[in-house]
Every structure is written in structure tokens, then in C-alpha cells.
């Protein structure tokens, strides 16, 4: 039994879901929290998506949490998502047991119930995706989970629109565009969300984005530097949104 426990980095089990305001038939949490897998599995892209993101129906390995400094993002809702995908990104195997070992009682005024209403809280969907990108970048996981991150960006962008009032949608689109540029998702032409964002913002970018140079640096006039090129003695440094994305040695220009 000890050997079996040592093989896995996470255990997920089922939950009994009860709510003040929903019947079993109308509560979407019941199906979402149902553990659809059994036994031990590698935490692959596919398996990660088969499991729910909630923190409370899982057991984690503390050494992994400490090693990678996995934390909940501060001051935002939906923080379980960031913790779950961060942990799953660096863990090995998961043991799945459908047995309902946890009883979740959803009050009518719970955080989850509040989050389901249309309000500014809905924009936190994008904030946790942004926080997850920072974790993947810090730990060298962007290439491994690029496809997963694209799916999460599209999904949580839609959720931000779904759970914010119409008058806030302009702000949601702006936040999504900034994150798409920062993460590189803006280049994923197959995502309908990216086509939507480009249709909103690219004409403005093309109209007002100008280049200036003093033979040292190029920058865009949009209130902040979008793309910069700094010429040094040994290399040319390219930055996107302030972050280094490429370094080209001077020898390559000879």
C-alpha cells in the first residue's frame, strides 16, 4: 500500500454536493465534480482536462508545493484554477477514486454563488489565466503546455464575458488582448477568440503604431512600449511588453 501511495503526487476523490438553491437535476456542480476516471494516470494534458479544478476534493504532495512555490493568486476569485493547473504541470501521477469522501454544502450567499452573478468578479477568470502564464513561464512549461494554455485562455475569456455585465465587456476585451499579446496566444489563428480580438484591436494598432529609432531602440507610441529593439555591443535584444523574447548576437549581422 505504501508503494502505491509513493507512486502518485495527487489523489482526487468524489464529493456529495448539496445546495440551498438547486436540486440535484439543476445543479451543474454535481456533474462537474464527478470523478470520471479510476485508478492511476499520468497527469497528461488530456487527464488534466478530465478532472475538476477544485482544491477541496484532492490530496497533494507538500514537497512539490514547496519546491515550486505554488500559491493561490491573492485578491482574486477562481483561484483554485491557477493552483490546480500549476500543480498538475509539475506533478507526475494522479490516483482517481469516485468515492464521495467530501460533503460540499453550497450556501445561497457563498462565494461560488456570488461569482455566478454578472459582476466585476467575472474578470478574475482572465486574471487567474494571467497568473498561470507567469508560473508556466517561470518554470519552463510553456512549450509543454502551449496547447493546454491556449484552451484555457479561450475558455476563461469566454467565462469572463459570460459573467460580467455588458457594459464591462470592453474592459474584458482589452484585458484579453493584452494577455494574448503577452502570452503569444495572439498568433493562434485557429482560435475564434483571437479572430475576434484582432478584429477589434488590430485596425487601431495598424493605424497608430509607428516606429522611431535613435539607432539604439525602437518603440511604439501607444501609451507604453509594445515592442522594443535595443542595440548593444554584443547583441540586439528584442522585447515584447517589456519582456525579453529574443537575443540576436552581433555576429549574425556581419
Where does residue 39 fall: left (phi above 0), alpha (psi -120 to 50 degrees), or beta otherwise? left
Does pLDDT of 68 surpass 90? yes
What pLDDT is stored for residue 116 in this prediction? Answer: 58
Task: Give the chain's length.
Answer: 254
What average pLDDT does the structure give for the chain? 81
Stated pTM of the model: 0.74
Does pLDDT of 26 surpass 80? no
* Separation between Cα atoms, residue 219 and residue 231, nearest integer Å: 12
* Separation between Cα atoms, residue 56 and residue 185, nearest integer Å: 31
Does pLDDT of 161 surpass 90? yes
Please give the residue that has the higher pLDDT: either 216 or 172.
172
Does pLDDT of 73 surpass 80? yes
Q: Where are the beta strands (DSSP E) in 186-226?
A: 212-213, 217-219
Does pLDDT of 190 surpass 70? yes
- Grade residue 203 by pLDDT with cuts at 50, 70 and 90: low
**Do 49 and 100 contact (CB within 8 A), yes or no?**
no
Does pLDDT of 38 surpass 60? yes
pLDDT in tens, 211-243: 444 444 444 444 455 666 676 777 777 777 677
- Per the DSSP assignment, residues forming a β-bridge with 11 are 59, 95
Q: What is the DSSP letter of 101?
A: E
What pLDDT is stored for residue 186 in this prediction? Answer: 85
Which residue from 84, 163, 81 is spatially nearest to 129, judged by alpha carbons? 81
Q: Is 127 helix (H, G, I), strand (E, B) or coil?
A: helix
Determine the number of helices (DSSP H) and then strands (DSSP E) in the chain.
Answer: 10, 9
Amino acid at each position: 500500500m505504501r508503494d502505491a501511495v509513493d507512486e502518485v503526487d495527487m489523489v482526487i476523490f468524489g464529493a456529495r454536493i448539496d445546495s440551498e438553491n438547486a436540486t440535484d437535476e439543476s445543479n451543474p456542480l454535481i456533474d462537474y465534480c464527478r470523478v470520471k476516471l479510476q485508478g492511476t494516470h499520468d497527469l497528461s494534458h488530456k487527464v488534466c482536462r478530465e478532472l475538476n479544478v477544485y482544491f477541496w476534493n484532492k490530496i497533494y504532495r507538500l514537497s512539490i508545493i514547496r519546491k515550486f512555490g505554488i500559491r493561490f493568486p491573492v485578491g482574486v476569485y477562481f483561484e483554485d484554477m491557477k493552483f490546480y493547473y500549476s500543480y498538475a504541470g509539475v506533478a507526475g501521477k494522479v490516483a482517481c477514486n469516485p468515492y464521495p469522501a467530501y460533503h460540499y454544502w453550497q450556501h445561497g450567499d457563498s462565494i461560488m454563488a456570488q461569482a455566478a452573478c454578472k459582476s466585476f468578479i467575472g474578470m478574475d477568470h482572465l486574471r487567474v489565466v494571467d497568473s498561470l502564464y507567469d508560473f508556466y513561464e517561470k518554470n519552463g512549461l510553456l512549450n509543454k503546455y502551449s496547447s493546454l494554455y491556449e484552451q484555457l485562455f479561450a475558455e476563461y475569456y469566454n467565462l469572463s464575458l459570460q459573467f460580467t455585465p455588458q457594459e464591462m465587456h470592453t474592459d474584458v476585451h482589452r484585458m484579453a488582448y493584452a494577455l494574448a499579446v503577452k502570452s503569444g496566444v495572439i498568433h493562434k489563428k485557429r482560435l475564434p477568440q483571437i479572430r475576434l480580438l484582432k478584429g477589434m484591436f488590430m485596425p487601431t494598432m495598424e493605424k497608430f503604431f509607428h516606429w522611431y529609432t535613435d539607432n539604439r531602440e525602437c518603440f511604439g507610441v501607444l501609451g507604453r512600449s509594445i515592442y522594443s529593439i535595443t542595440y548593444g555591443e554584443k547583441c540586439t535584444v528584442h522585447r515584447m511588453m517589456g519582456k525579453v523574447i529574443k537575443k540576436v548576437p552581433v555576429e549574425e549581422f556581419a
